[in-house]
Amino acid sequence: MKFTICQESRIGARGTNQDRIGYCYSHDALLMVVADGLGGHLHGEIAAEIAVRSITGSFQRAAHPALKDPSRFLPRALLAAHHAILDHALEEGLAEAPRTTAVACVVQDGMVHWAHAGDSRLYLVRAGRISGQTRDHSRVRLMVEHGLLSEEEAASHPARNRIYSCLGGSGQPQIDAFDSVQLRDGDILALCTDGLWGPLGDNGILLGLADGNVMLGVPRLLDRAEAAAGGDADNLSVIALRWHARRQTVRERTVSTEEMAPTEFTTRFLSPDAAAGPATGADDERREDPAHAVPELDDDRRPTTR
């Protein structure tokens, strides 16, 4: 695999950063994950931290060096993260389990698979247009799809932060998974929290990644989102990847997994301290994280406020 990847998170105008992001790759598979702790509930940053590390741990346990079934892996990994959050709440005696959104994708054999709960988004940008994206689990998105609101009205609607699916909390999450898509040379994958896409909209996301340079595009997107949101800027985070499908000389800052051993992983998280400022590039940190078992449970929905 060959790709260029960049991630960054900023605190915005908030007192703390409840976003958590990270990526992990083996010789044959790559995981990216973004979580946004729900600020309307206690310990959102803890839920986001558990989600990112649980999903990454599940990936490290299963990708040796490839996943047997990437499309089934992601829903199971998100569900395992949900129960890891519930376990933490029980162990700590919390009055309620903290909550977080989550969006994750896996790239394997040149195919991308993704799944999410909540309103953190994935965008697939191809040839200057948005070729695919997640569908927010929000009341406002449902209203837009039913013709009750326009996109412009949705952007300022008072219920725009109401979501009906998340990891943690008292109800079972709705986890939506998308069928695999074959990546083409130059395709860009961008995973982000609503603090980024909210002020910019789809067109702003597209404009920021239009030139295909994710190393410049990520800080440019964050700068524009912060400027647009002003004093109301939420935490804002993004991971963006450009896929290199053609055989070519590896450029500076382009990751190649060709020399990795089958049992080796490279993982990069943004810690709470690093999340207050830029953290970009693809650091070469080899590590193993604990994975969580994946229970089988029925589906349910509960509305919640971000």
- Percent of the chain at pLDDT > 90 equals 72
CB atoms near residue 191 (< 10 Å): 28
Q: Amino acid letter at 160? A: R
Quick one: CA dihedral 84, 88, 89, 93, positive or negative? positive
**Two tokens, residue 123:** 């965008």
Is the per-residue pLDDT at 208 higher than 80?
yes
**Two tokens, residue 210:** 């239009």
What are the φ and ψ backbone dihedral angles of 232, each rounded to 5 degrees? -100, 10
Segment 94-122 mean pLDDT? 96
pLDDT of residue 141: 76
Res. 139 pLDDT band, cuts 50 70 90? confident
Segment 81-85 mean pLDDT? 98
pLDDT of residue 252: 57
- Among 86-90, 143-147, 288-292, top mean pLDDT goes to 86-90
CATH class of segment(s) 2-289: alpha beta
Is the per-residue pLDDT at 299 higher than 60?
no
Segment 100-112 mean pLDDT? 97
Is the per-residue pLDDT at 25 higher than 90?
yes
